[in-house]
Structure 1
Amino acid sequence: MAAEAADAVAVGTENIEKIEVRGMRASQKAAMNEKRFSNAVVDAITAEDIGKFPDKNIAESLQRVAGVSINRGFAGEGAEVSIRGVDPTLTQVQMNGQFVASTAWFSQGANRRSFNMDLMPSEMISGLEVFKSPVASLDEGGVGGTVILHTRKPLDLDTNTFFASAEANTNTLADSEYGLGGSALFSWKNDDETFGILGMASTLESIGRGRKAENYWEEGWSASGIAGFDQDRTRDAFDLTAQFQPSDALGFTLHAFRTELDATNTNQNFLVIGANGATMTNTANARIAPNGLPLSGTVNDAAWLAQDTNTRRAKMTSTVIDLRTEYQGDGYLLSGVLGKTYSDGGNGGNANGLWGQPINAATGITVDVDMDLADAMLLSPNGVSLSDASWQAFQGSSLAESKLEDEEVYGQVDLKLDVDFGAINSIETGLKLRSHEFTNRQFGATLGDTSQITNISQFDDGLLSDFDEVVAPGTPTEYVKIDGLAYWHALNDAVTSWDESLSNYGKIEEDVFAAYVQGNFDGDSYRGNVGLRYVKTKTEGSAYNGNLTEIDTFKGEYDDYLPSFNLAIDLADDLILRMSAAKVMTRAGYSQLTPGYRGLPDTVPESGRYQTSRGNPALDPFRATQMDIGLEWYYDESSLLSFAVFNKDIASFITTTKIFEDLTEVPVPHLYEVSVPDQGRGGKIEGFELQWQTSFDNGFGALVNYTYVDATGETDDGEPIRLPGSSRNQYNITGFYEHDYFTARIAYTNRDEFTAEGTALGNGNDVFDAQDFLDASVTAHITENFDVSLEGVNLLGEITYQRHSTGAETVRVITDNGSRYTLKASYRF
């Protein structure tokens, strides 16, 4: 049924060679086999053997698919997927063909529609598909493409299947700290194979680190600093599936999934704040920034040397429960699904603190933030030591909490009819209804007596170190570390009341109706499908009016007709010519639609930056017309050489611009820098991808791919703009060796510069420099059922650079996320 697109539309199952997947080479062969017999442009990753998914992080596996690249989160882990140079927010991610509600923990981060794949344990995945071309029976929403994750089912496994694993992981920046985890799966079915039940539980603590140099010297508040980000996340996930097959014709599947993430984190930034060019002692021949500040010299006064600390007790949950049924009649297949998915999350309360003292002639700080020339930053205090807590006096605090809720109820029915209309052998049609609600709220704490907090030494937790790779020689590479949770509790204990910030309130209600018809055809040397999907979207946004006295509503409505065509021609037994064309759309993200202001401060911001963002529920979606043509040569049973050319003509897209608004009816009236969605005029993405995959008889194998993308766009005013997610060149090289006693894999990934949402204060898109990552793993097969593996991620210790997206080459953030290692033991029978 369309709810599980791979089963219904991607694969001609009657043609597929059945493969028993028990190792890496067999898994690669199965994925290639799925691509070969699909009717659409599809790539796959299979893991039929439990625990054999190639990476701990699903996104990091996807980056090795041709045409796929990823963005990395605050701790350097794979987070978002870009397909063929398209903004990762336009990649649709589904579980078993359905949307999964999720929320974000970072209060300045955008709330999107895609499920964060890091919330799904890889052990729960039997495989995934990357749809680069749509079909009418597949949910709309992926201008870039659609990724479908498939969970396991008990009737597909042997009865009494058992799997268990235990692991430990660390980060080279973690000072001998380790995260522990484990998972267990049990699947049972009766002798008649009419009923089965599968349960799986997983828990994992992961160690995430970031060491950064941050440069805001030219952005109006004259600040730069060295920041440390520590996040020890704990993810608990549960999956339960029951199948009932009372007859060969009738089947029911009940699936429940829940993941909980404790994403508690502390970010510390030692900053020079509020430098004044008139009082600086400038370096000879120092360059001058656009705001008039010299880029190198000594800051003498009229500024602060201070730590800005933020601890967030962030938590998120995502839950899915649905019931699927399928009936195979005489010449038809009728199927349906009813389900609900919901999520809640937020920052859990952000405890902010400012610690330090004003700069004077005795405690000046020498700076060199000319980072477009030297790609490094110098901050050298002259009169104090950053490792000394005694002078770091308490200067102010705040405690604010963001709360997010996301929910969708869905129902669909699908019918597939066997017909004999010439080349058309079956017709599929169906209806789907979705009702969605997203809510954003923010609360500020009124703090009582905090006089007992006087100095950061009260929360001393040693030293924060390992900044050597991101700063210039002469900058301190360690400073006082705060016990963030202890400080959070100290502020929380001082709370006298919590008050909702009405100006931050926003709600989006969205109703979607979809209907489609699709014809599937084949002949002696060709196969494919042609179809049309119709979608009506109604949106209602709610936010408080300017006087904060009542809620105003704003409505939007639009229709989309989305034709699609896929054709595969067998030029020879081993040579396939593949063509596709379609219209695609992606709705705007919830942050872009929500009319209320987001992230307004409840107190005067310590940084001195008055920033917020708001959306517009009347925004049109992203729309594009796409075409591609490719040639695939399967020159032996485990080898593939392919070439594909693709084009996306983007009729409309949404970008972000910044304006200044004088906000008066808000907790802190001021002139604010406001990030608002901006309707782009259009753009074009063109490129090609090459792919080679093979396995040799001696146990070695390789996967190599290269993608070229030329992406251009214009704002509504006709100004050229960088399209997020696009690297002109990217390639992946993976080599592996498989033996009866061990398996080894090494993978190298490289991509050119690209634009993406940054991790700097104020957020927005930044330009990231070219990146390359090297990962490796080795698994020892101790017995037939017992494995021990070691995985290393970012073995090269890649340092990432992000620059202003305005065209200036000045570096905003330099980040070292360290290398990650995981030692794992697993047992199955």
Structure 2
Amino acid sequence: MKHPQSSKTRHDAPFARRLKPVAWASSVALLTGAAAVQAQQAAPAAPGATQALETVVVTGIRKSLDSAVTLKRENRGLVDGIVAEDIGKFPDSNLAESMQRIAGVSIDRAPSGEGSKITVRGVGPDFNLVLLNGRQMPTGVISNENGGANGSRAFDFANLSSDSISALEVYKTARSSSPTGGIGATVNVKTARPLDSKVRIASLGIKANFDGSNSRLPEAFKGSSVTPEVSGIYSDVFADGTLGLAISGSYSKRDSGSNKAYTQNGWRTFTANSGDWGTIPAKPATGTDPIVNRPTGLYSTSTDMRYSLTALQRERVNGQAVLQYAPSKDLKFTLDYTLANNTINKKNAELSSWFNFSFGPSTPPTTFTSGPVATPIIQTALFPNNDHDLAINGGIYGDKTQVRSTGFNTEWKVNNDLKFEFDAHHSTSSTKPNSPFGSYSTMDFGLFNQGNATAYYDQKFPIFSLPTTKFDASKLMLTGSQFVSNLSAQTVDQFQTQGSYRVDVDNKLTAGLGFTRVKNRAASYNNQNNDWGGVGSQGQYSNVATVTESLPGFFSQIPGSGDSRLFPNFYMFDFNSLRARSIEVLMASRGVSRAQAEAYFSAAPDYSLGNDWRTTEKSSSAFAQWDHSFDTAIPMNLSAGLRYESTKVVSASQVVSRTSASWISQNEVTLTSGATVFDSKTGKYSYVLPSIDWDADLAPDVKVRASYGHNIGRPGWNDLVGGTNFGAGANAGGGTGSQGDPSLKPLLSKNFDLSAEWYYGKGSYLAAGAFYKKVSNFVGTSNVTQTIPGVTTPIGGAYYKAGLAACGGNAQPLCIRNYIFNNFKGKPGVVQTGVNASGEILGTIAGQPGDPLLSFQVTTPSNEKGDNIKGLELNAQHMFGNSGFGVSGNYTFARAGLKYDNTNITTPQAALLGVSDSANLVGFYEDNTWSVRAAYNWRDEFLASKVDGAGNNPVYTEAYGQVDMSIGYKIGKDLTLQADLINLNDGYIRQHGRAKEQLISATQTGRRYLIGARYRF
């Protein structure tokens, strides 16, 4: 809802009279942007918005910063923002990149290197509410790396172009009039309205995009070296200013790449002398210990090492149409329509090896750090027969996100004291497959001549050494495939109304109602073929198109990539060539028809066969707020209010049942899928949320503030789903599963803020603020051991016990499996399919009646104890007189009580994600012809996840800084040439686990240059 108000409502003291012209002009500059930003929102806006009086045309960097200062100074509560210099000239091509310049705001970067989600004051993306012109937008369509939605509530800024955005407003304090959901901040993204500008605006912009990351891909993956970006806007008024029409649109295409070294299956952590799967061997009674610096406490081992190259092609179309009608100055109607299409296609190639935990005497020996969680800096896996499979994987990914929003708004000024506003909108979003093979498809090609492998973790880049491995096409064979179709859809229906009544010059009452219904759906069909034993035989794939590239050349920016120990080759295959050959081999080896073979290597979007989660969330709200101005020697303002919020959650689920289990390789158990199972659960909660904001002008240029308020943050969609989803794969220790709980309570944050601001010159100020958030009902996880009736595992069964007795009490799985095949071949559940070169018998061993039930560790969300988030924000901005030079910067300190304990390996933890320090420094120069801006953005290390590929383990993103620059040159009054230079320092992003040596990923992208022009008609 829009709440027009100013921090000065009455005072006619000399100070107030001196301030009025500046405040008026700056407020107009803020809300009109560059002659087209609204004086009044045509839809509900976040609380505290000032009211423009008339339109003033402003342009340039300095005017933009002046307007942002006025936003901060004149609103009640703590508000920061960014205002466009001109329509079509927002500071960055990505809104998230712009927002990181605001104190307390940090960004999470997508694999492409672009900012996509925001963290505010240590509160993660799921708990920051993003509004478009005051309206809650669908958010459940963020794609993960495997395609489809990840269940997050975080808004993905990559779906919106910045070309038609006029301002971003970040409200950091809770207000009763503010929608709930943003315990970190409520962000309002504002677009243009024609009746606010009252003049004709027409402009067209064209840019050429040069992406350096694209040039770092192999030739087969490279896209266009130059891609286009086009944007335009037309806005005008008709019929004596009573009718307004605005149309804006943008089209952009980007071909980019990201190169990543990582471990997909994470790091397994153990206590010394434990005998779990993946542990190091016991110290021998005699002879040399194969482990150097053998751990005496906690230690970790990695499961695999991978090098991945991804080519990304993104095509984004944004558009908005606005029609306004004002039959009188007291009544205005607005109808608007917004669309956003974001299409992503990817190609992926990967070289990897599964270590199989085959530690033993070797050169070099496995060597550990001293702890507190000992980590191998050298880890050698033994494959002396040179017949292990070096994995050469390839994938094709594709999804398309569509957002549509239709809204209607009415503003009615009954008289000078009484005003009403009504707003309704219907918004939808969906993410669907955009590839003939589904959202995510990968095929696993095995090169079966790998020998001993050594992983070195002694520098930033992980080094994988294969001293005896060479490419031999006759050793290639398909060893598995996965084709997945994912669907995500969300609908938001919202109605909001409010009225305000000015009782007298010092008092105003505001009250409102809101109703919101959100429907969220996530569905998936997974066609996973665990053909680890191979499809056909080696030698049948020699004609598949393959190439050999130089591995070190793809990671030149990451320290250590030039190490001579690194395996020099990166092998790739053509996906379509392998799929075509696999279809032929499957038909010949298993006697299936072509239609069956085609279906075997595809994923039809038939979600009736897979998991389908549907959640409906209905919320009703009411609020009342009192605004009071004190007519005292020290001008003060007070806003106090209450908000009532009631929500009901209904979650219906369809999950795939599991009917049996088979032991298919030494460390893999697969489960057979059965019919789908349905379930439904409900939950509800209600809260009364108070808020109070106070400010005082201690001097004409000094303001202090204090705020206290409650807000809630709703659990993620994945946490609310009903039903239990058991994974399709397991190992000797059992399987995994997950289930949600729609009765979860939202996070409740009690917020306290203090700040002081000194506005010592036009556009110049110093500010310092402290914040404290007491957050309860954190959503953590707990593990419960469950079994499925009738689903037994052969591991520990009669066949297994016989093999264990024959092989010795501590025998390896290889010996036990070979014994079972040699002695029980043809018995129920024992199917032999072949023998590999090293003598390992291939086949499946199914669980039988009387065998142990397969156990699953099922992860369940739960509300955990609360804790605090606290910190300081320091801001400074200075204009060097009329020289054209200026500088601004900020630093945020953020701390949380809930930290991750790296030495806790037994229980899931409720540590808070995203808490870190951050800093920004921006310098600029501007005159009538030139405008130059340079920005450095930095974020300290933070906890990015509590789960890696191995389970409940931390993932830390290391400190990262980036330098960006923009240069503008004006020709005449209508034509501007523009250059945007992004990631000039060519930074890379690194993540690690419980120790810095435990590499999770190291990702390299590249610089990006956009060169273009904008013409105003």
The answer to whether the aligner puts 1:641 opposite 2:766 as a matched pair is yes
Stretches of structure 2 that go unaligned for 5 or more consecutive residues are 4-40, 216-223, 269-277, 279-301, 584-594, 658-674, 793-845, 848-853
Aligned pair partner of 2:479 in 395, 417, 422: 395
Distance in 2, Cα, partners of 1:483 & 1:722: 43
Mark the CA change 1:595 to 1:690 in structure 2 (over 3 Å): closer, same or farther: same
Mark the CA change 1:294 to 1:22 in structure 2 (over 3 Å): closer, same or farther: closer
Question: Are the equivalent residues in 2 in contact too, given 1:503–1:666 (CA < 8 A)?
Answer: no
| Bigger radius of gyration | 2
Q: Report Cα offsets for 1:738-777 as digits up to 9, x if no partner.
A: 1222211111112211012499757986111111111111
* Matched ranges for 1:570-589 at <5 A: 570-589=697-716
Show the counterpart of 1:23: 60
CA RMSD of aligned residues (A): 3.5
Q: Secondary structure at the match of 2:235?
A: strand
Question: Are the equivalent residues in 1 in contact too, given 2:125–2:153 (CA < 8 A)?
Answer: no
Q: Report Cα offsets for 1:210-251 as digits up to 9, x if no partner.
A: 211113463458211111222111111111111111111111
The answer to whether the aligner puts 1:591 opposite 2:718 as a matched pair is yes
Mark the CA change 1:518 to 1:606 in structure 2 (over 3 Å): closer, same or farther: same
Q: Report Cα offsets for 1:776-804 as digits up to 9, x if no partner.
A: 11112133211222212221122222122
Show the counterpart of 1:51: 88
The answer to whether the aligner puts 1:528 opposite 2:568 as a matched pair is no
Mark the CA change 1:307 to 1:540 in structure 2 (over 3 Å): closer, same or farther: same
Amino acid paired to 1:305 = L
Amino acid paired to 2:613 = G
Q: Secondary structure at the match of 2:718?
A: helix
Amino acid paired to 2:191 = T
Question: Are the equivalent residues in 2 in contact too, given 1:275–1:303 (CA < 8 A)?
Answer: no
Measure how far apart 1:476 and its partner are.
4.1
Show the counterpart of 1:495: 599
Measure how far apart 1:621 and its partner are.
0.6
Mark the CA change 1:306 to 1:336 in structure 2 (over 3 Å): closer, same or farther: same
Measure how far apart 1:163 and its partner are.
1.5
Measure how far apart 1:415 and its partner are.
0.8
Distance in 1, Cα, partners of 2:542 & 2:574: 9
Amino acid paired to 2:934 = I
Aligned pair partner of 1:694 in 878, 883, 892: 878
Mark the CA change 1:263 to 1:285 in structure 2 (over 3 Å): closer, same or farther: closer
Amino acid paired to 1:218 = W
Show the counterpart of 2:262: 214
**Which segment drifts farther, 258-267 or 38-47?**
258-267
Mark the CA change 1:718 to 1:591 in structure 2 (over 3 Å): closer, same or farther: closer
Q: Secondary structure at the match of 2:368?
A: coil
The answer to whether the aligner puts 1:197 opposite 2:258 as a matched pair is no
Measure how far apart 1:8 and its partner are.
7.5
Show the counterpart of 1:803: 992
Aligned pair partner of 1:287 in 356, 368, 373: 368
Aligned pair partner of 1:314 in 381, 392, 399: 399
* Matched ranges for 1:518-557 at <5 A: 518-524=625-631, 525-544=635-654, 550-557=677-684
Question: Are the equivalent residues in 1 in contact too, given 2:46–2:186 (CA < 8 A)?
Answer: no
Paired residues, number: 816
Mark the CA change 1:293 to 1:627 in structure 2 (over 3 Å): closer, same or farther: closer
**Which segment drifts farther, 572-581 or 522-531?**
522-531
Question: Are the equivalent residues in 1 in contact too, given 2:773–2:870 (CA < 8 A)?
Answer: yes
Mark the CA change 1:574 to 1:479 in structure 2 (over 3 Å): closer, same or farther: same
Q: Report Cα offsets for 1:6-46 as digits up to 9, x if no partner.
A: 868414437x9986421001110011111110012100111
Distance in 1, Cα, partners of 2:475 & 2:557: 27
**Which segment drifts farther, 461-470 or 28-37?**
461-470
Show the counterpart of 1:297: 380
Show the counterpart of 1:504: 611
Distance in 2, Cα, partners of 1:223 & 1:589: 30
* Matched ranges for 1:5-154 at <5 A: 9-13=47-51, 20-47=57-84, 49-102=86-139, 103-106=141-144, 107=146, 110-154=150-194
Mark the CA change 1:101 to 1:382 in structure 2 (over 3 Å): closer, same or farther: same
Q: Secondary structure at the match of 1:10?
A: coil
Distance in 2, Cα, partners of 1:197 & 1:779: 29
Q: Report Cα offsets for 1:583-618 as digits up to 9, x if no partner.
A: 1101111112122456955xx699999665442211
Distance in 1, Cα, partners of 2:116 & 2:791: 34
Q: Secondary structure at the match of 1:40?
A: coil
Mark the CA change 1:24 to 1:599 in structure 2 (over 3 Å): closer, same or farther: farther
* Matched ranges for 1:421-820 at <5 A: 423=506, 425-445=507-527, 455=541, 458=544, 460=546, 463=549, 466-470=554-558, 472=561, 473=563, 474-476=565-567, 479-483=570-574, 494-495=598-599, 498=604, 499-500=606-607, 504-524=611-631, 525-544=635-654, 550-596=677-723, 600-601=727-728, 613-656=738-781, 662=787, 674-696=858-880, 697-713=882-898, 722-727=911-916, 729-757=917-945, 761=949, 766-804=955-993, 810-820=998-1008
Q: Secondary structure at the match of 2:522?
A: strand
Question: Are the equivalent residues in 1 in contact too, given 2:60–2:85 (CA < 8 A)?
Answer: no
Measure how far apart 1:459 and its partner are.
5.4
Stretches of structure 1 that go unaligned for 5 or more consecutive residues are none
Q: Secondary structure at the match of 1:192?
A: coil
Question: Are the equivalent residues in 2 in contact too, given 1:680–1:715 (CA < 8 A)?
Answer: no
Distance in 1, Cα, partners of 2:731 & 2:225: 32
Measure how far apart 1:122 and its partner are.
0.5
Amino acid paired to 1:198 = A
Measure how far apart 1:65 and its partner are.
0.5
Q: Report Cα offsets for 1:528-582 as digits up to 9, x if no partner.
A: 3111110001001112478556522111111011111111101111110111110
Q: What is the identity percentage for the equivalent residue pairs of Structure 1 and Structure 2?
A: 25
Aligned pair partner of 1:233 in 297, 310, 314: 314
Amino acid paired to 1:89 = D
Distance in 1, Cα, partners of 2:782 & 2:257: 30
Question: Are the equivalent residues in 1 in contact too, given 2:182–2:712 (CA < 8 A)?
Answer: yes
Question: Are the equivalent residues in 2 in contact too, given 1:797–1:819 (CA < 8 A)?
Answer: yes
Distance in 2, Cα, partners of 1:194 & 1:17: 15
Q: Secondary structure at the match of 1:336?
A: strand
Amino acid paired to 1:222 = T
Question: Are the equivalent residues in 2 in contact too, given 1:335–1:415 (CA < 8 A)?
Answer: yes
Show the counterpart of 2:287: none
- Report the TM-score, using the length of structure 2 for normalisation: 0.74
**Which segment drifts farther, 787-796 or 440-449?**
440-449
- Report the TM-score, using the length of structure 1 for normalisation: 0.90
Mark the CA change 1:327 to 1:406 in structure 2 (over 3 Å): closer, same or farther: same
Show the counterpart of 2:274: none
Measure how far apart 1:69 and its partner are.
0.8
**Which segment drifts farther, 342-351 or 444-453?**
444-453
Mark the CA change 1:276 to 1:115 in structure 2 (over 3 Å): closer, same or farther: closer
Show the counterpart of 1:277: 358
Mark the CA change 1:384 to 1:673 in structure 2 (over 3 Å): closer, same or farther: farther
Distance in 2, Cα, partners of 1:609 & 1:821: 50
Distance in 2, Cα, partners of 1:827 & 1:787: 7
Q: Report Cα offsets for 1:256-281 as digits up to 9, x if no partner.
A: 11111111123332111143324673
Mark the CA change 1:242 to 1:285 in structure 2 (over 3 Å): closer, same or farther: closer
Show the counterpart of 2:328: 247
Mark the CA change 1:358 to 1:158 in structure 2 (over 3 Å): closer, same or farther: same
**Which segment drifts farther, 263-272 or 324-333?**
263-272
Show the counterpart of 1:366: 453
Q: Secondary structure at the match of 1:144?
A: coil
Q: Secondary structure at the match of 1:31?
A: helix
Amino acid paired to 2:871 = G
Distance in 2, Cα, partners of 1:635 & 1:660: 63
Distance in 2, Cα, partners of 1:120 & 1:514: 28
**Which segment drifts farther, 542-551 or 713-722?**
713-722
Aligned pair partner of 1:406 in 474, 477, 490: 490
Mark the CA change 1:461 to 1:608 in structure 2 (over 3 Å): closer, same or farther: farther
Measure how far apart 1:828 and its partner are.
1.6
Amino acid paired to 1:162 = A
Mark the CA change 1:86 to 1:7 in structure 2 (over 3 Å): closer, same or farther: closer
Question: Are the equivalent residues in 2 in contact too, given 1:467–1:478 (CA < 8 A)?
Answer: no
Distance in 2, Cα, partners of 1:168 & 1:308: 33
